[in-house]
A and B are shown apart, each in its own frame.
Chain A
Amino acid sequence: MKHHLISAADLTRDDALLILDTAEELASVADRPIKKLPTLRGRTVVNLFFEDSTRTRISFEAAAKRLSADVINFSAKGSSVSKGESLKDTALTLEAMGADGVVIRHGASGAPRRLANWVHGSVVNAGDGTHEHPTQALLDAYTMRRRLGDVEGRRVTIVGDILHSRVARSNVLLLTTLGAEVTLVAPPTLFPVAVGTWPCEVSYDFDAVLPKSDVVMMLRVQQERMNAAYFPTVREYSRRYGLDAPRMGMMPQHALVMHPGPMNRGVEIAAEVADSPRSTIVEQVANGVTVRMAVLYLLLGGSEPAIGTTRMDGE
């Protein structure tokens, strides 16, 4: 594996499978009375969050803590960042503190790539602008594997604001690496102009794609997109591209409904779909911690085994 995880494109098929297999191994820990492993004892992980995202930050924090890493939460609000400190100066500060890993969430696409120029520790992209969110894609793949047995050959449909979605970008890259067939569905306004060059299918017709899907992943649609004329009204969007109960009925029996959250119930997903047994939405959250443990372990753990050492037995 590379030193950083910035894009899902950084992962070879073997890398991705190693992360998913490691996550499976680590998942067994979640069932134990004591969930903590000593693997990253003495290592420092900084959560550097320039955007509010409590769920992602908590997920990374729980993952690092279960591996016994020291966690420093550095949020933009109330820090020197809000006083106009540059990313570079923040990076130099983290470097001086000896961060072994930096988990960064940032509103600007490419910020993790820039950060990686200025720190020695491993950089993990926890979502950058409209670029990528690779650990989300990993946890989605992990969830699919747990539910469906395998990702390879599965037909995954991703629906929503593809143009602005970091989740869609990372999933297209990772899922195709893992051998899935991805179809993107959206109104034409919400695709990048050159989406035809992506390694996936593109459709404007949700209903036509539904019966051929093993997984339907719904993306959050921000209501302000309406003001920029990406679609006429939220209601029209919901009618054409929302997943409601009748549409769920068009899916094969085994097919899953996924959503990276936070959901707009009643917009891209109906409440009865979100709460149905086919929905993996809550599971995705739980799996997020496990997959992020695997990522942090593989990037920061060096040669130590993830679990099952004698040292751990002595804990």
Chain B
Amino acid sequence: MTYLIKGARVLGGEPKDIRIDGGVIDEIGVNLDAKGAETIEADGLIALPGLVDLHTHLREPGREDAETVESGTRAAAAGGFTAVHAMANTEPVADTAGVVEQVWRLGREAGYCDVHPVGAVTRGIEGRKLAELGAMADSAAHVRVFSDDGHCVDDAVLMRRALEYVKAFDGVVAQHAQEPRLTEHAQMNEGEVSGRLGLAGWPAVAEEAIISRDCLLAAHVGSRLHVCHVSTAGSVELIRWAKSKGWQVTAEVTPHHLFLTDELAETYDPIFKVNPPLRTKADVEALREALADGTIDCVATDHAPHPVEAKETEWAPAAMGMIGLETALSVAQAAMVDTGLLDWAGLADRMSVRPARIGHVGGQGHLPAPGAPANLTLYDPAARAVVDPAASVSKSRNTPFAGIELPGRVQATFLRGRPTVLEGKVV
């Protein structure tokens, strides 16, 4: 199938035509000949490389009531993604070649976007013994990112070994930085709001202590470290320092940490409960600046679907996490582009090029150019809409942006030349 995308602003530049043929971009130019291709009018739309998410919870196997690989990848496509990394905290845990191959295969069968399973660092994400990292790396799923996400690999020796071990296949350990003793029973950011609301605090130092230790470990053994969902201004400073030393440290930030603050907990509505928690305005500003200057490499959604009953409770027993695939680009536009912190080329770098590089994902994260794989997102930055949870493509509805008006709309997504979204609808 061939397509001619007419008048798209590639990375926000002047309008151009893009012809797609055989899964690759055939030509980019002005007034291109359709050569019999199906024409897609893209007047006013921005063409971005297909987005790549380093941090997605697809919940399958185990919690298919919240999300499946199929529903989650449909949501990803609707959000403009062409690749996602499926986190390992499924039931059973993705800690063997068998489970990661199952998830990878389900992704291939669904066909909405590439699914790259993340392997657990430790067996059962229990933090005691290393999982068979090599077997997962050598499997058909080709795992390169390893994480116990949801749990911190807090044992310093185990973390050191994991960082060293994955060098054999150029893997990366993605750490959920949370010192466990400092966060026992923690409910929300520790600060003015937690004290007033009587909710147990999750202090910034619990994240920063682990990040500083891990940066030092990564430097000591010469390994790659990736820091998941950075949430504090202090973490930003530590990562900036580690990078200034030339250490191989990368980091991600979620859309919600770029946009929302801990004051939302005043409603006691657990829709705003997430781990790490929403922080303060000063943290949000530091995270935005860090993403703009490249200290934080990329946006990752931490899309965490939960069934309704897991959130329709008191705050303390409620599940932590929020969905984010479908709103990620809109939130990034509001936080980074509309504020002048990043241009569209910069956002493409942070949401596609860099995450693909960190995850060693082949065939993704290429800027639109002749010969590049035709993974593309066509995005209307002028659209505005109020987020309606009932309209989500994800199986779950736990979006913290419900009722908020956000800019932008994904009009089309192409995965290797094949549309997964057209006219704003998943096809």
Binding site for B on A (CB under 8 A): 86-88, 106, 108-111, 113-114, 128-132, 163-164, 166, 169, 192-195, 197-198
User: Contacts A130-B198, A169-B196, A195-B195 hold; do A109 and B268 have CB atoms under 8 A apart?
Assistant: yes
- Which 10 residue pairs of A and B lie closest in terms of their CB atoms, listed nearest first? A192-B195, A110-B268, A131-B198, A130-B198, A108-B314, A194-B192, A109-B198, A108-B316, A113-B268, A111-B314
In this assembly, does B313 line the interface, its C-beta being within 8 Å of a C-beta of chain A? yes
User: Number of contacts between A and B (CB, 8 Å)?
Assistant: 68
Q: Chain B 159-196, CB within 8 Å of chain A: the 1/0 string?
A: 00000000000000000000000000001001110111
How far apart sit A114 and B268, CA to CA, in the bound complex (Å)?
7
Q: Is the CB of A169 within 8 A of B314?
A: no
Q: Is the CB of B192 within 8 A of A132?
A: no
Given A110-B199, A169-B196, A193-B191: 20 more A-B contacts, CB < 8 Å? A86-B312, A108-B314, A108-B315, A109-B199, A109-B315, A110-B268, A110-B315, A111-B268, A114-B269, A114-B313, A114-B314, A129-B199, A130-B199, A130-B200, A131-B197, A192-B201, A193-B203, A194-B192, A197-B195, A198-B195
In this assembly, does B317 line the interface, its C-beta being within 8 Å of a C-beta of chain A? yes
Q: Is the CB of B195 within 8 A of A129?
A: no
Q: Which residue of A lies closest to B195 (CB)?
A: A192
Max chain A CB contacts within 10 Å: which of B194, B196, B317?
B196
In this assembly, does B309 line the interface, its C-beta being within 8 Å of a C-beta of chain A? yes
Q: Is the CB of A86 within 8 A of B199?
A: no
* B187 neighbours in A (Cβ, 8 Å): 109
In this assembly, does B267 line the interface, its C-beta being within 8 Å of a C-beta of chain A? yes
Q: Which residue of B lies closest to A173 (CB)?
A: B196
Q: Is the CB of B198 within 8 A of A132?
A: yes
User: What's the minimum C-beta distance from B11 to chain A, rounded to whole angstroms?
Assistant: 43
Q: Which of A106, A130, A164, A194 contacts B314 (CB 8 A)?
A: A106
User: What's the minimum C-beta distance from A98 to chain B, rounded to whole angstroms?
Assistant: 22
User: Contacts A86-B309, A110-B314 hold; do A193 and B195 have CB atoms under 8 A apart?
Assistant: yes
Binding site for A on B (CB under 8 A): 187, 190-192, 194-201, 203, 267-269, 309, 312-317
User: What's the minimum C-beta distance from A82 to chain B, rounded to whole angstroms?
Assistant: 14
* B316 neighbours in A (Cβ, 8 Å): 108-109, 129
How far apart sit A197 and B197, CA to CA, in the bound complex (Å)?
13
Could you show 28 A-B contacts with beta carbons less than 8 Å apart? Answer: A108-B314, A109-B187, A109-B199, A109-B315, A110-B197, A110-B198, A110-B314, A110-B315, A113-B268, A114-B268, A114-B269, A114-B313, A114-B314, A128-B198, A129-B198, A131-B199, A163-B195, A164-B198, A166-B198, A169-B198, A192-B194, A192-B195, A192-B196, A193-B191, A193-B195, A193-B203, A194-B195, A195-B195
* B200 neighbours in A (Cβ, 8 Å): 130
User: What's the minimum C-beta distance from B272 to chain A, rounded to whole angstroms?
Assistant: 11
User: Contacts A86-B313, A88-B312, A88-B313 hold; do A109 and B197 have CB atoms under 8 A apart?
Assistant: yes
* B313 neighbours in A (Cβ, 8 Å): 86-88, 114
Max chain B CB contacts within 10 Å: which of A129, A164, A169?
A129
Q: Is the CB of B195 within 8 A of A108?
A: no
Q: Which residue of B lies closest to A166 (CB)?
A: B198
* A111 neighbours in B (Cβ, 8 Å): 268, 314
Q: Which residue of B lies closest to A112 (CB)?
A: B268
Q: Is the CB of B192 within 8 A of A197?
A: yes
User: Contacts A86-B309, A87-B313, A110-B315 hold; do A193 and B190 have CB atoms under 8 A apart?
Assistant: yes
How far apart sit A110 and B200, CA to CA, in the bound complex (Å)?
12
How far apart sit A130 and B187, CA to CA, in the bound complex (Å)?
12
User: What's the minimum C-beta distance from A113 to chain B, rounded to whole angstroms?
Assistant: 5
Q: Is the CB of B267 within 8 A of A113?
A: yes
* B309 neighbours in A (Cβ, 8 Å): 86
* B191 neighbours in A (Cβ, 8 Å): 193-194
* B317 neighbours in A (Cβ, 8 Å): 108
Q: Which residue of A lies closest to B269 (CB)?
A: A114
* B196 neighbours in A (Cβ, 8 Å): 169, 192, 198
